[in-house]
Amino acid sequence: MIRFIKIVLASCLALSGLNLSAQDGSYDVFIPIAKYIGQGDVDRLSAWFADNLEISIISTSNDSSKNQAKQILKSFFESYTPRSFDITHTAGRTNMKYALGSLNAGGEVFIVTIFVTCKHNGYKIQQLEIDRQ
């Protein structure tokens, strides 16, 4: 289901050309998220996790609870210590946004994809994907 949403969102965004950085007054949810990824701060990053999310690390996907995703990401950061993380692209609509970024960790470069949705209590990460470049 998440893959289907990802494909539909990417298609809609490609057709609409909507870019969040061009919108005035929009809250950039990715500023704190990017900061915590760059620091490898799993505790603070996991506060942004939905109760259930899809996490994919180097082509291994899991539908996980918030706590399971936290442990998976913690294990990744223990193996690949983050040096820097930069958001390279953001797009979306009011209630669903995504970002692509470049993570320099453990002497390698990874592509990171983050999908967030806005519910009544704010933005939450629904999907986090980290793959080798």
Nearest residue to 90 (alpha-carbon basis) of 38, 2, 29: 29
In 10 A of CB 13, how many CB atoms? 19
Cα separation, 133 vs 130, in Å, equals 9
Give the pLDDT band (50/70/90) at residue 15. very low
Model confidence pLDDT, tens digit, residues 40-68: 999 999 999 999 999 999 989 999 999 99
Nearest residue to 110 (alpha-carbon basis) of 126, 91, 129: 129
Which amino acid, residue 35?
K
Give the pLDDT band (50/70/90) at residue 95. confident
- Concatenating the DSSP letter of every residue in 9-46 gives HHHHHHHH---GGGSTT---THHHHHHHHHHT-HHHHH
Model confidence pLDDT, tens digit, residues 102-130: 999 999 999 999 999 998 778 999 999 99
Average pLDDT score over residue span 27-51:
95
Average pLDDT score over residue span 74-82:
97
pTM score: 0.79
> Phi/psi at 2 (nearest 5 deg)?
-60, -40
Lowest mean pLDDT among 10-14, 33-37, 67-71, 101-105: 10-14
pLDDT at 119: 82
In 10 A of CB 37, how many CB atoms? 27
Both structure tokens of 76: 């990744």
* Residue 69: pLDDT over 50: yes
